[in-house]
Amino acid sequence: MEHILDIEKQEEDLNAIFLNIKQSNTILFLGAGASVGEKRYLSKEIIEFYESHIGKELNEPNITKWLDILSADDSFRRTHFDNFVQDLLQKLTVSEAHKVMASIPWREIITTNYDLLIERAFDAIMDSSQKIYDLKPVKNQKQYNYRESNTEVRYIKLNGCISDKSLYPLAFSTDDFRKLSSFYKLVLNDLKNISHDIQFLSMGYSFTDDFGKELLDKFDSYNFRDKRWIFNVDPFPNENTLAYYKKNKICIVKCSFQDFFLKYKEWETKNADIVVKKKGLSLLSSKDSHISAPPQLLLSLDGIVKQLNTHTRERFIKEEEYYKGDEPNFGVITRGLDVTKTNFTQSFTDEILKVVNDKKGTFVPIFFISGDFGIGKSTFTLRLIYELEKQTDLDLVSFEIVDFNRARKEHLIELIKTMKAKNFIFFCDEIEVESYFKSLIEIQRDISIEQFQDCNIFFIAPIRVNILEKFRLNRTVPNSYELRISGEFTTEEIEDLLEKLKKTNLIDFRDASEKKRLVSKIMKEYNSDSFVALMASITSGRHENDLIDCYNQLSKEAQQAFLYTALLHKHKLLMPASWLKQNIKMDWDEFITRIVKAEGKGILIQEYVSAHGTQPDLYFKTKHPLIAERLVNRFIPNKDKQFQFYEQMLKQIENGQTNSYLANNLLKALGKNSDYNNTQIDKLYDAGYTKLSDDPYFLLNYAINLQNRRTKTTVKKAIGFILYAEGLLDYRNHRFIHRRAVLNFELAKLYFSEETQLIYTNIYIKEAQDLFVLKQLLDPFSAFSYVDYIKLIIWQLENIDYEIEDVMQKKILIEDLFDLANRTVTDNLDRIDSLQTLYANYLNHNNDNKDYKQYLDELYENVRLRPYACILLHNYHLSKEEFEKCDFYVSEMEFMQENFEVVKFLFKIYGRYLHEANTRVKLLRMARENINLEKEFPLRFYFFKFIAETYNFNYNDGKNYLRNIKHRYHNLHPEFHYEWKDPDGEIMLFDAIVVKKSAERFKAIKISNIQLTAKLIKGNYDKFSVGSKVKVKLHFYLYGLMAEIVQTTDNNSE
């Protein structure tokens, strides 16, 4: 590569750099020279100005060594120096070149600067048409684990920031840089994940002076470039050192920061393709007309969600390659290459439309298309979607969620609002990967909360029968339906397949009788096995031999690459190019020549994806996971040898979010498939820790693995890892808190089996209990916030002797947790049910051989215990539906409010009867007089006060409490609600009219009597015209007050 020393004469080379920048294929490194404008504060000037200020001259040009010398002087104050630097840097001004720079779709910006010029440049164009991305500053290691969206560019400040020197100290000295080594390593190692197509561009650095050389050496010590070139924009390069630059793979662009970006702007004007157009991003209606969509939405969805229609842009699959086992895409269906299973297609279509049109429940439905491995579930599902799209009366649009790790509910919700279709399908392939399955359930919940009117939304997901069964053992999927497909073909379908295979020369038959014999052979021998097995049968084994021949034609390096890729892809995971490169021990030049540019013979397939930031953009896969499995078992038949491959892979993986997800999903898949014993799985986790020791999400899963080894040493080690992982995060994460609680509980049980005096047992029990309380406060809508917490309390009651008051309080707590869980949790309810059975068994066997009611009555006679007994007796009679007796105990407890357990209990009871004015007065007074209620029960506190203030017609006050819920919690229960009742407890019907704002898509209702406007719950309101008089019920949801039309009172319907 030649240096660009004359930007006018070498315009073509410069334009190639510009094109990569425009296509969002550039990582930018910014040095101090990029901040030079009217003011110049490089290290040389800082040294001169500060020496003049303090009246000393050290004759040391290297600012790091200079500051090391100063720091050894007792009279030197580092804070004084940092403040001096801050005062200088605050004088810098934003130039036009900075604004141009801020309008560019960088993949990432990394800087060693301390100033705020870039932040101010992005702010300067915030409200202009120049803006493409928002800036997301990352100033320390904790903030680095944030996953930016497609509309954000991460701006990494390696050396601190003057925005807050206490949080982000300025790095100048040797000791400063030593402290930052882990941050440098994390950031620069992540750059190894991107392919050779992503270019590195640096500005503001001169790599020939001592400081610049040291910085280059520091950067390259992490081998982030891996012998790749970096472009360095330098207005005054030392032309005597050009050979040195070239040797170090630095291509000089002789140009100033300002001139470079002004030149870029000039080039961009001539080639005026905005990013959206360049990427070909668009949305089409069901009638193939273009939908006007915000560019930011299209960018947000790019590479994460794609529309499925006849115009979908995706990899072209040749007919013969599809029949040889290539994974299908929508183009295969639109070109008619698949065999249509007419009976299944029709019956599944009828079932789906029946459920969707029924509109029962708040949760949007999920349809699992289940079947055995390799029988064509994904192909069939795509065909099913295509056939549904062809029914024009449905006004149906379809989308595939491509990347669950990056899918955000806000973007999906905006997409639905933008499209304005009647029916939406979200196709979810690859949900056999556990993290994707979890994400699907979360997305279902988030979209359900929106309660979209006048449109149906549903998910369709192909999945193996056995995998679905395993997932369902651990979690409940609301409003889900399993539609099972088998691999058998009808005679007509077999004939269709044979004709298609003949056209591609994969088989041959000369007449009808030969064709009939083939049909008969398939009908007789093929019994819902994989499609690959079917092809092997039809071609008498030639199909599999072709695959083996393809493998044998690969170079030795490519064969090795194939085996590593296949070992991953057999679990439906793609192999990032960077990880593959590490496994076969090549630098980028070798890898490009021998693997990327080499012929993959149709079985080692490259897949470029639309990635963002430092996420991998080049992956490798095989034709199909089933083919991967068959060929792996053929070429590495020994399971122990396969294990060694996995161990080697995990030891070579680089740190990074994408690789962490891959490692976690791979290890979970290996565990679920029972390929290896527990000792081997443990060893694989240990191997992953070799490189992923600084990744919080790997550490979380590693801690679970260590917990399952069930020794005090491994559990303590796991607690240490979780504490370290939490220190790597910039926010409190309830998943880590929960795991730490479980680990402390596990450790307590291990000590309990050894101790006679329960010293350590009680220490770890107390820690676990505090953490479970915190988990439940942060995440009250997850079963994980209740199951292990309740197990802990039951275990305490069964194994440790407590005073009777403590026993009663623990029982009250258990029953309250059950009550809350049954109202707020949406998944894993069967685990809650099994715990209720466990608790009932405990009650039956721990009452001094007395009937439980008799036992409570005796406790009630003790004045000291009476408050607790009242609560337990109330719960007992409530379970028996003896409501008058419940009222008796509530009345009695109203005179016991000096007891905080009673206060908490009454607050809960009052909250369920807020239709009564007197009860509202009691609840609001109680809330004022007991400030700890908000702290201990924030969800109940905010929800009940929202209801109470709404009943009192203080709508704005009620909304403020609702905002607290929305801001504080995620994964809200979409269906949980109370209904607006009259003072007698009867559901109220309100006279209302249908309204709709001109700029909004959805209708609402207005109740004139109480001057209230409310959104309508999920439903079809086409027949209600604006102005129609209706009767409605009102519902208090955790996310707002919503109305349900129950009848029309006039004839103004459409």
Task: Answer yes or no: is pLDDT of 235 > 50.
Answer: yes
pLDDT surpasses 60 at 530: no
- Which residue's structure tokens are 């593959």? 580
At 774, the pLDDT band (50, 70, 90 cuts) reads very high
The more confident residue out of 828 and 646 is 646
Distance CA 181, CA 886 (A): 64
Report residue 53 as tokens: 């200020």
**859 — phi, psi (to 5°)?**
-65, -35
Residues 809-849 pLDDT 10s:
999 999 999 999 999 998 888 889 999 999 999 988 877 66
DSSP state, 1019?
B
3-state secondary structure (DSSP) of residue 2: coil
Exposure string over 7-16, b if 16+ CB within 10 A, otherwise e: beebeebbbe
Interatomic CA distance for residues 493 and 496, integer angstroms: 5
- CATH no. for 978-1048: 2.40.50
pLDDT given at position 462: 95
The pLDDT of residue 660 is above 60? yes
Q: 1030 near 992, Cβ under 8 Å?
A: yes
- Choice between 294 and 946, residue whose per-residue pLDDT is larger: 946
pLDDT at 869 over 80: yes
pLDDT at 273: 47
Q: Is the pLDDT of residue 19 over 80?
A: yes
CA angle 760/763/764 to nearest 5° reads: 90
pLDDT score at 590: 83
Structural domain spans, the chain: 11-38+95-270, 295-487, 492-548, 912-973, 978-1048
For tokens 């955790």, name the residue: 1038
- Provide the residue type at 688 as one letter: G
User: Domain 11-38+95-270 adopts which CATH fold?
Assistant: Rossmann fold (3.40.50)
Supply the DSSP string of 791-832, one letter for each residue: HHHHHHHHHS---HHHHHHHHHHHHHHHHHHHHH--S-HHHH
Model confidence band, residue 97 (pLDDT cutoffs 50, 70, 90): very high
| Average pLDDT score over residue span 546-551 | 80
Residues contacting residue 732 through CB under 8 Å, at least 6 positions apart: 726, 778
DSSP state of 593: I
* pLDDT number for residue 516: 87
Mean pLDDT, residues 20-28 taken together: 91
CATH 3.40.50 fits 295-487, yes or no: yes
Question: What confidence tier does 589 reach under pLDDT thresholds 50, 70, 90?
Answer: confident
Q: Is 849 helix (H, G, I), strand (E, B) or coil?
A: coil
In our burial notation (b when 16+ CB lie closer than 10 A, e otherwise), range 840-875 reads: eeeeeeeeeeeeeeebbeebbeeeebbbbbbbbbbb
- 402 closest CA partner among 431, 381, 373: 431
Q: What is the pLDDT of residues 270-296, one digit of tens each?
A: 775 455 565 667 899 999 999 988 887
pTM, to two decimals:
0.83
Q: Give CA separation, 539 vs 298, 404, 498, 522, 543, in Å.
A: 45, 38, 11, 11, 6
pLDDT confidence band for 418 (50 / 70 / 90)? very high
Q: What was the pLDDT predicted at 895?
A: 95
Same fold, 11-38+95-270 and 978-1048: no
The b/e string for 916-947 (b: 16+ C-beta within 10 A; e otherwise) is beebbebbbebbeebeebeeebbbbbbbbbbb
Give the pLDDT of residue 527. 57
> What mean pLDDT do residues 443-462 have?
92
Whether the pLDDT of residue 528 is over 90: the answer is: no
Neighbours of 80 (CB within 10 A): 11
Give mean pLDDT, residues 458-463: 96
351 φ/ψ angles, rounded to the nearest 5 degrees:
-65, -45
pLDDT tens per residue, range 350-397:
999 999 888 778 899 999 999 888 788 999 999 999 999 999 999 999
Cα distance between residue 542 and residue 1040, in whole Å: 63
Q: How far out from the chain centre does Cα 206 lie? A: 40
Residue 1020 is predicted with a pLDDT of 83
Provide DSSP, 733-754. -HHHHHHHHHHHHHHHHHHHTT
Average pLDDT over residues 432-436: 88
Give the strand order in the sheet containing 108-111: 134-138, 152-157, 108-111, 26-30, 199-203, 230-233, 250-253
Q: Give the residue with greater pLDDT, 421 vs 603.
A: 421
Query: How buried is residue 731: exposed, middle or buried, by Cβ count under 10 Å (0-12/13-18/19+)?
Result: exposed
Token pair 């990899």: residue: 315
Mean pLDDT of the chain: 89
